[in-house]
Amino acid sequence: MDGEGKRTRFAFLSRRQSAAVLVLTLLAVGWSLFVAATQPTLIKKQQEHRRTGQRRSDADFYKTIVERVGAGENYYAALAEEFSEWDEPAASIFNWRLPLYAWFFGKLPDPRWGQVILAILPLTAVVLAFKVAERDLGAPATFFTLFLAGPFAWLAFEGICLFTELWAGILITLSVLSYALDRPWPGVGTGLAALFVRELVLPYCLLCLVFAFVGKKRREVLVWLIGFACFAAFYIWHAHQVAGHRAAPGGFQPGGWVRFGGWAFIIGTSRMGNIFLIDQPMLAAGLLPLSLLGLVSWPGVLGERGSLTCLGYMSAFTIVGQPYNAYWGLLYSPLLALGLAAAPSAIRDLFHGLRAGDKNPSSS
């Protein structure tokens, strides 16, 4: 079937339904632009430390940890000392990143080797996205999968490549694409790998478990449960290590993580998740509803898992997240890029629905 014969979920809407979706989309774009124009959507963490006179970033912090681990120091001891040195809050276990990133990059002759080695993951994601788009939507969605360059381009930066959210987001994307191509075991494997990189991936993994349970895939359910058990053991060990070093530094996270940042924070996370939008708040705000539109319209597994994943994280982040936690957008921004790739096809089908009247296209 050629690209012209491939349709989004919106191709089967009536005229009234198509009109409603278009109106809601326009209202969402308008609201998003209004929020971006009237509220700050990205706040740099350095502003929290003006009193110290220091000029540093999270990337500098992670680079320091990797260097110390590479020099043979214990990860948790090095982290405790750096928390104290940089006056970072460390009373909560959630301030202590899981150690895999430091072990991996720190044990290489040069951390930049890690960038090269791990580059295979986003390249694989682009190939899989091309296949899924060609199968499900055809042109122009196949070409527009190049939008993944925006979220994945952060890999080129030596500091940002140490953010665990970046690798977790790439692995989540690989998992969703694997399921979309009916390859559940790579989907399970990359999903669990993402969880061991960053505990914030747990909601996505639980979503996959629900899909497996509803689909009566007993073997997959069993593998997910075994994976959760292994992660629980790993996290308990991690918590024990943290408890042994936590007495040295810092206080609690100022204000806590429950901040009700709302849609402004969501725009900030989408900006941070795409290198080409980081300095374009209005463009990011306008594209965000269109990306969700495209993702919801995508037929099949990718649309289901991708849209539920994005909407789940975005709903949570309207409530949870410090203003400078916008880099959490790295977790789900590749899926938004796929949604943006599908947006032209979705809009095309909505306008076809307006012209076709109340006929159901499936009957033609």
- 29-39 average pLDDT score: 96
Could you give the CA distance from residue 239 to residue 244 in angstroms, rounded to a whole number?
A: 9
Q: Please determine, for residue 85, whether its predicted confidence score (pLDDT) is greater than 90.
A: no
Instruction: Give the residue with greater pLDDT, 356 vs 133.
Output: 133
205 and 190 Cβ atoms separated by less than 8 Å: no
In the numeric block, which tokens belong to residue 306? 């991708």
Cis bond before residue 281 (omega within 30° of 0)? no
Is 158 a residue whose pLDDT tops 90? no
Among 107, 105, 138, 167, CA closest to 6: 138
Average pLDDT of every residue of the chain: 88
CA R_g for the chain: 21
CA separation (Å) from 337 to 25, 145, 254, 273, 344? 17, 7, 33, 10, 13
Residue 98 has pLDDT above 80, yes or no: yes
pLDDT at 300: 92
Burial of 1 per CB tally in 10 Å (0-12, 13-18, 19+): exposed
- Span 255-304, pLDDT tens digits: 577 778 899 999 999 998 999 999 899 999 999 999 999 999 999 999 99
pLDDT digits (tens, 9 = 90+) for 168-177: 999 999 999 9
The pLDDT of residue 237 is 96
- Determine the Cα–Cα distance for residues 91 and 215; give it in Å rounded to an integer: 41
Those residues with Cβ within 8 angstroms of residue 67's Cβ, 6 or more apart along the chain or in another chain? 106
124, amino acid identity? T
Terminal-residue alpha carbon distance, the chain: 16
Indicate the pLDDT class of residue 125, thresholds 50, 70 and 90. Answer: very high
Q: Which residues contact 341 (CB under 8 A, 6 or more apart)?
A: 129, 133, 141, 144, 145, 146, 147, 294
Confidence of residue 66 (pLDDT cuts 50, 70, 90): very high
**Would you kindly state where each structural domain of the chain is located, as residue ranges?**
8-46+54-363
Pick from 41-45, 71-75, 142-146, 327-331: least confident: 41-45
Give the pair of three-digit tokens for residue 246.
């936590």
Higher-scoring residue by pLDDT: 97, 251: 97
DSSP 182: T
- Taking only the tens place, the pLDDT of each residue in 321-347 is 888 888 999 999 999 999 999 999 999
pLDDT of the residue at 53: 45
Average of per-residue pLDDT across 80-96: 79
The string of pLDDT tens digits covering residues 213-267 is 999 999 999 999 999 999 999 999 999 999 888 754 444 455 577 778 899 999 9
Q: Which residues, other chains included, contact 145 with Cβ-Cβ below 8 Å and sequence gap of 6+?
A: 126, 129, 130, 133, 338, 341
Query: Under a CB-based contact definition with an 8 Å cutoff, are residues 268 and 42 in contact?
Result: yes
As a whole number of angstroms, the distance between CA 284 and CA 61 comes to 28
Query: Interhelix angle for 218-245 vs 202-214, to 10°?
Result: 160
Indicate whether 47 pLDDT > 50. Answer: no
